[in-house]
Structure 1
Amino acid sequence: MEQMVNGEPRVLATDAALDLIQEIQQDYPDILFHQSGGCCDGSSPMCYPTDDFMVGDQDVKLGEIGGVPVYISASQFEAWKHTQLIIDVVPGRGGMFSLDNGREKRFLTRSRMFGGGEACTIPGVRTRETS
């Protein structure tokens, strides 16, 4: 699966998300994201230690943010394949099993359609990975 659409990455992160990733990595250096499809924690991006989450055969890797892989289920990818996901941070509690829980801020997925123009800009979005 191609991780770019018309030269744009399938997944981006805001500066706030990249900062929270670095904070979490101080406690859990090897992490991954899985875009939740509902149930207990809604549709939040869930952050897990890599060895605590088994990526399934049907999961699709969207790309990486801050060097951290981001996955989504194949069925959810089908619904969102024309959409760029932007991982952001807002005040509140993270998902029950997500590593952002208890930090008084949580990850949130925003989205925009590929090639459809921008209805608004999202402050702090990184359009290219930085080393």
Structure 2
Amino acid sequence: METKDKISRLSVTDEAMEVIWELEKKHGELMFYQAGGCCEGTQPQCFEKGGYFPRMNDAMIGTINGFEFWIDRDLFEYWKYSHFTLDVLEGWGPGGFSLETPLGKTFKVHYRLFTAEELENLEPIKRSE
């Protein structure tokens, strides 16, 4: 089956997309990384492309506006049966290194479990080497 028929693991809210466009205008190409630390389980970090290097076997679950969205390998194992929706909130999260922080905003991920039918037809992930 072709990728266009596959179920995406990742989506983005309109509000988060507006912030991404603003960051792209200022910083150029971007990337996202979601760590598995105590505070960052739902807060991905946004960097300039190449501003963070995924660890071996981390998972790239999709792209937003063409920008890769990477997940810590252990966090991915925990959430691999879930759809990620990138959202944005007003205020500062625990990270502080993410590009949206100076805007007074924080990216956040909302999860929902895939249905049995969706699990059978998910887009493949890419692993870092």
Q: What is the TM-score when the length of structure 1 is the normalising length?
A: 0.77
CA distance, structure 1, for counterparts of residue 67 and residue 43 of structure 2: 16
Query: Which has the larger helix fraction?
Result: 2
Shift of residue 14, structure 1, vs aligned partner:
0.5
In the alignment of these two chains, the number of paired residues is 113
CA distance, structure 1, for counterparts of residue 10 and residue 107 of structure 2: 14
Shift of residue 106, structure 1, vs aligned partner:
1.4
SS in 2 for 1:43: coil
Question: What does 1:25-44 align with in structure 2 at a 5 Å threshold?
Answer: 25-39=24-38, 41=40, 43-44=42-43
Shift of residue 70, structure 1, vs aligned partner:
0.2
CA distance, structure 2, for counterparts of residue 110 and residue 75 of structure 1: 18
Residue deviations 1:14-33 (CA, integer Å, cap 9, x gap): 11111110100111111100
Residue deviations 1:61-118 (CA, integer Å, cap 9, x gap): 00001111100011111100100000001111253111011102211110100017xx
Name the % identity. 32
> Are 2:95 and 1:85 equivalent residues in the alignment?
no
RMSD of aligned alpha carbons: 2.0
8 Å CA contact 2:42–2:110 kept in 1: the answer is no
After TM superposition, which residue ranges in structure 1, 4 or more long, deviate above 3 angstroms? 39-43
CA distance, structure 2, for counterparts of residue 77 and residue 41 of structure 1: 13
SS in 2 for 1:22: helix
SS in 2 for 1:110: strand
Letter of the 2:107 counterpart? F
Match of residue 108 from structure 1: 108
Which sections of structure 2, spanning at least 5 residues, go unmatched? 117-129
Query: Which has the larger strand fraction?
Result: 1
Q: What is the TM-score when the length of structure 2 is the normalising length?
A: 0.78
CA distance, structure 1, for counterparts of residue 57 and residue 47 of structure 2: 18
SS in 2 for 1:23: helix
Shift of residue 56, structure 1, vs aligned partner:
2.0
